[in-house]
Structure 1
Amino acid sequence: MTKYINSFPSKNIQVKGTNYLYFGGTAYLGLQTDLEFQNIYIDNLRKYGTNYGASRKSNIRISIFDQTESYLAKLVGSEACVTLSSGYLAGQFISQFLNRKEFRFFYSPNTHSALYLCNNQENKPKSYITFAALNIALRDHLEKNKDSTPVVFLDSIDFSGANFPDFNGLKALPLNDVILVVDDSHGIGILGKNGGGVFSSLKKLHPKELIVCCSLGKGFGVQGGAIFADTKRINEFIETDFFGGSSPAAPANLATIYFGEELLNKKRSLLEQNIEFFRTQINLITKFKSMIGHPAFTFADENLTQHLEEHQILVTSFRYPNEKASLMSRIVLSAAHTKEEINTLCGVINKY
């Protein structure tokens, strides 16, 4: 059942006078309501303003864009990075840029809608149900179409555990002949060395080319998006009318990532401790689909959702990305949760 609230859904929310513990959403590091993080953001807001609507190609340019992009590229392990106003726009940008006759699109199982070129349901391409089917289709294409490079779209975190951390389905593909486009929105900021996400690990699989995009709002707590690739490809993106004509991410947002590194590292460590604590306290871990190191624990039992709500605990549970989709339910831990709150959650689950 949909519930309406009047403030950001932090670890505690109130609905019609009832207080609930909240284990849902995507605020993995708990930054959005963290006072120290807010103070860093407010300081940057005063310096850079609430928004910057000019083109990045304007004759007046704010240096924090290049500074943050260089920082993020180094963090992730890519040659270069470019930021945009949202993760969704980043995915659409890549899809539109590669929408040419010399490329052929292939969508992995459970690919996020941000990577689809067309979201009109009648014309929307189908994702492959299995990696085995995708593998067959790719090899058939490579044998019959020498002038068309396949582009494989993938979500690094698909919440089924099929991709991160092992990417076994991906490893079976002929990656040397494939451009790999990966949405790492649920990984960057919380996974990998210092929150660098999956870029470095995917690079070791040696695809023909690797392009990673993401939202900055989940792991870094501010609105924005980013694309990571080699320098040549990023420069091609920057030279497009699409990039030149779009408003960038707010510079205050990017500055908060750049100047908030120490706090982000501290919050990431807290999140890692919370994940480990949950795993040690829960008796029914096999009831959930999960990935080592990731704070989301997916389940399909609607009665468990109801059981948790009856004990004043709310989790993520809705049909995504539309009402025709299957119900998505998951427990999400954050760096903001205390051991006591996690222990309460585990106690309720263990009694189910």
Structure 2
Amino acid sequence: MSWAEWFAGQRAAREAAGLQRVLRPRAAGDEAIDLANNDYLGLSGHPDVRRAAGEAALVWGAGAGASRLVTGTTTLHAELERELAGFTGRAAALVFSTGYHANLSVVTALADRDTVIVSDAHVHASLIDAARLSRAVIRVVPHNDVTAVRDALAAAGGRRALVLTESIFSVLGDAAPLAELAETCAAHAALLVVDEAHGLGVAGDGGRGLLHGLGLHDHPHVVMTATLSKSLGAMGGAVLGSAALIDHLVNRARPFIFDTGLAPAPAAGALAALRVLRGQPGLPSRIHERGAALADRLGVPRSAGAVLSVPMPSPRIALAAQARALAAGVRVGCFRPPSVPDGVSRLRITTHAGLDEMSWERAVGIVAAVAAEHRQLV
């Protein structure tokens, strides 16, 4: 079979299952109300954030120019790391070009063939890929099952161990039992790696994250990762923890060592967004108020974060509902296998604090009508 035949067969199989994906370029000034993006607080378009990003590009240029261990580390990176660590209550931080790279780095730099990784069944693809690349022994445990984690650590035979979870999960929007997991990890001398991608800017006091909200921000057995591309409206990622951890990552994390540093514009934008959030600590509460009301109207569980998932009968119906909402002026996301851990296709709706009340109410009405119509289809 030729490669052309193989590609054609793969596409045909995806199309038959309703799983073919295509890129749909979005024009600047698109008037659709966007409930698909992850800019939960609306800070990407905040005047201070735009100004900071633009000025950084003019001063520093379009790119960082090199790996951060060469000349790619600027004073912007150092300032962002210092303020991120201070805001979340961690000792130190290290910024990466993406959140994906942050997760790849922390896991692959800490784990090897002599390590056991205990991974929640619902963690993000970046953590799954990181675990596989680490060559560690991997134990996937049922979602949010602390007993299963405890049993897996007890069976590790004294080997170094990492437990992987998210603070708030990106599909179901539920929170991990972080206090119990941290206690379990401490009892077995393991490290708990918590991805706060959907927690930073949303959970905890003033958006400092769920770890901070639970008093786990300085726990010696907890490592935090985060993205700068969601609540902070820019791009990039970060690992936050002890100074010793950050030193180890600088020296051993391949995605950090061999990647060009985060560009100046998003670094400055994320820093400006962090300062806006720090000055407006009530912003996250608007997400939860709106999210709770929308969840009740849609008849789905309330989210611990900003993402709501509405189950659909099939991938094709989920796509049809997404298209219908867009035709009515609202952009929503669509979860389909393999992006969903339980195989159930869903509409993905993100709650936004930055929308004005009129736009929000209009979007809610459209989403509720579309969801009700398509959930009845078989």
Quick check: 1:272 aligned with 2:282?
Answer: no
Match of 1:29 among 36, 41, 44: 41
Amino acid aligned to 2:227: S
Quick check: 1:149 aligned with 2:160?
Answer: yes
Q: Hey, what's the Cα distance between the residues in 1 that align with 2:325 and 2:105?
A: 40
Quick check: 1:326 aligned with 2:337?
Answer: no
User: Deviations along 1:253-307, whole A, 9 cap, x unmatched?
Assistant: 222233444433567645533542464577525x223324x22222103579467
2:125 is matched with 113
CA contact (8 A) 1:111 1:155 kept: yes
CA contact (8 A) 1:68 1:258 kept: yes
User: Deviations along 1:66-121, whole A, 9 cap, x unmatched?
Assistant: 2211110001111110111111011111121122244210111301111123669x
Match of 1:186 among 194, 198, 206: 198
Change (3 A) 1:191 1:48: farther
Q: Hey, what's the Cα distance between the residues in 1 that align with 2:312 and 2:202?
A: 27
TM-score with structure 2 setting the length: 0.75
1:88 is matched with 100
Deviation at 1:316, TM superposition (A): 1.1
The correspondence of residues 210-229 of structure 1 with structure 2, limited to 5 A, is 210-229=222-241
Change (3 A) 1:275 1:7: farther
SS of the residue corresponding to residue 286 of structure 2 reads helix
1:76 is matched with 88
| Percent of residue pairs identical | 18
User: Deviations along 1:174-209, whole A, 9 cap, x unmatched?
Assistant: 543221011111121332233221332465398662
Q: Hey, what's the Cα distance between the residues in 1 that align with 2:132 and 2:345?
A: 20
Match of 1:239 among 239, 246, 251: 251
User: Deviations along 1:44-64, whole A, 9 cap, x unmatched?
Assistant: 211121111323233785222
Match of 1:317 among 322, 331, 334: 334
Deviation at 1:135, TM superposition (A): 2.6
> What is the aligned residue count?
337
Deviation at 1:171, TM superposition (A): 6.6
Deviation at 1:228, TM superposition (A): 0.5
Change (3 A) 1:44 1:298: same
2:375 is matched with none
SS of the residue corresponding to residue 127 of structure 1 reads strand
Q: Hey, what's the Cα distance between the residues in 2 that align with 1:240 and 1:163?
A: 31
Q: Hey, what's the Cα distance between the residues in 1 that align with 2:24 and 2:46?
A: 22
Q: Which runs of 5+ in 2 are unaligned?
A: 1-20, 373-378
Quick check: 1:295 aligned with 2:313?
Answer: no
Quick check: 1:284 aligned with 2:304?
Answer: no
Change (3 A) 1:310 1:231: same
Which one is further off, 268-277 or 110-119?
268-277
Change (3 A) 1:129 1:348: same
Normalized per residue, which structure has more helix? 2
SS of the residue corresponding to residue 81 of structure 2 reads helix
